Chain A
């Protein structure tokens, strides 16, 4: 990578919203003026001290940042290799990294005078975070969620409703996360004047991928400081590992380290039942190819005719047939490596985290942990892995119980 030292990996996207060939603004004309005005507003906010002062205040007092960087000593001992740290974003208010980004977008929405917020959600974590921040600011909130996810993430649906959000079960298409995003876009096209679309991951048309990444980058920035406090000045992680649905928690961890060539970066996609010809997975980079969906060009699961395929994963939060365009670019230039983990491997990691560290992880970061379990034993004791524990597992206990053959009586 010696030649690339002159070139930063942190300057994207370009003025067309591209990371290399990926990204862009593939939206209908009705939405184009809206995303241009969002871009303008975001560019202003980026360098506005007042904006960041408000963010920092809420991150500290409302979300509970910084989240701890925790040395997982029993996991480390058990795996018998690399030293494992967990970035504890599951301790954030609402239980995942999603709120880091939601706060930024809602503050922007308020600056733009928007009074109605819409969001799509898969696992329900982004929906809960959006409903939460809307409640805090007294904004109307409408969350689109695939009908299938409404069923398998019932606790989060109830949470959103408690928080005053209207949850719409999406039955269009196949009623999944991608269809929820379609319906959110359809809502936005219809309610252009008062509505702000709060996207939950580093996907969508420019400026969303860059904006969401910037808001989530607080994760990596904190890791950079915290690791030095614990391991000595100048010590960088050797390997970063994060799970990928759309890729926002991963981009948040990776981005501040892109220009540190010694840092090895690994994104973990959902392998479902295995990345094979039957497409029972959501591994867009491992098993897909470039296409255009939801406003950007990126790797997608699609058939020979360019029709989008449904993903498959035990984790509702990873069940998306695309991936943020910046990841597609990092994949193609080789700055980051992407692997897939199956449902079965994720379930094993879920249980190991509970047993050894007393941390019930969400199924999404369980995928990241499963990859840690694969590589840590092969690495020396002075190799530091930082894994993003981006969500807690309360929402997933019913799913996990079912897979372990345990019946939970939900009472009533």
Chain B
């Protein structure tokens, strides 16, 4: 049982929805980013998605593209991203961390070495945007063997025929991308999301978390109410981009978390 599995078991027992927050590791710099990271659980975040910066984030909109650029310019690397997780774990051994990014920096480090290091750093799961089920042998299967969850994205283009393939080697939870588009786009309506979540839940026992385009506590509430939880990324990254003090960023996150937990 990973920290992710344990977290969902606990939320389930309490009848609560999961609130997942995305931040880019190293944005705008290592120290600030680590402060934000450490403050997230206190702001009501159940699961942390930690972005691994990459020069060519082909599925991300301008907000997260620029966050990655800021992080890279400030000297963020894969190693420093692992170091952040290690630091975080010194004070929090419960909140799951999912590393989200693109394959090349991981491939470049070497998959076996990366998995050992990620596990040691206290990373619990991976979301790698450019690894569809067709490429499962690259990282997904080795990651599961190493005891890390491999969380897959399901999208509106994942039809019923394809869904079993997407679910097959997924663990931890399923991340439903509610729109066809990049991060930071307009949000989907809860009414449109509900049947899609039902469609996925009919095929898996894993929790289904919905993301993309959620920006406000109300949107967090309405989307979380039709799923097992929701993810907010770009809206939080925008606060960091605006140069807000860490406390203000965390207050904003708390508003979203409260929204998601209201359901």
Q: What is the interface of chain A, defined by CB distance below 8 A to chain B? A: 16, 24-34, 172-173, 178-179, 182, 185-186, 189-192, 291-295, 297, 300, 302, 304-308
Structural contact, A29 and B153, CB atoms closer than 8 A: yes
- The residues of B that contact A189 with a CB separation of less than 8 Å are 59, 180-182
Known contacts A173-B65, A302-B104: A28-B130 contact under CB 8 Å: yes
Closest residue of chain A to B105 (Cβ to Cβ) is A306
In angstroms, how far is the closest chain B Cβ from the Cβ of A288?
12
| Contact of A294 with B58 in the complex, beta carbons under 8 Å | yes
Q: Which of B55-73 contact A (CB under 8 A)?
A: 55-62, 65, 69, 72
29 A-B contacts (beta carbon < 8 Å): A24-B135, A26-B103, A28-B58, A28-B59, A28-B130, A28-B132, A29-B153, A29-B166, A30-B155, A30-B157, A32-B133, A32-B134, A173-B65, A186-B61, A189-B180, A190-B185, A191-B180, A192-B157, A292-B104, A294-B58, A304-B108, A305-B77, A305-B105, A306-B104, A306-B105, A306-B108, A306-B109, A307-B105, A308-B56
A30 touches B180 (CB 8 A): yes
How many contacting A-B pairs (Cβ < 8 A)? 116
A interface footprint on B112-140 (CB within 8 Å = 1, 0 otherwise): 00000000000000000111111100000
Please report the C-alpha to C-alpha distance between residue A395 and residue B166 in the assembled complex, in whole angstroms.
46
How many chain B residues touch A (Cβ–Cβ < 8 Å)? 46
Instruction: Evaluate contact between B132 and A32: CB separation under 8 angstroms.
Output: yes
Of A32, A192, A291, most B-chain CB atoms within 10 Å: A32
**Residue from A26, A179, A185 in contact with B135 in the complex, judged by beta carbons closer than 8 Å:** A26
B155 touches A305 (CB 8 A): no
Question: How far does the alpha carbon of A300 sit from the alpha carbon of B154 in the complex, in Å?
Answer: 29
Per the bound structure, the CA–CA distance linking A32 and B106 in Å amounts to 21
Which residue of A16, A173, A292, A306 is within 8 Å of B130 (Cβ)? Answer: A292
| 15 extra A-B contacts, CB within 8 A, seeds A32-B134, A190-B185, A292-B104 | A24-B135, A29-B132, A29-B153, A30-B155, A31-B157, A32-B157, A33-B159, A34-B157, A172-B65, A186-B182, A190-B181, A292-B102, A294-B58, A302-B104, A305-B105
Q: Are B129 and A302 in contact (CB under 8 A)?
A: no
- B interface, CB within 8 angstroms of A: 53-62, 65, 69, 72, 77-79, 102-109, 129-135, 152-159, 162, 166, 177, 180-182, 185
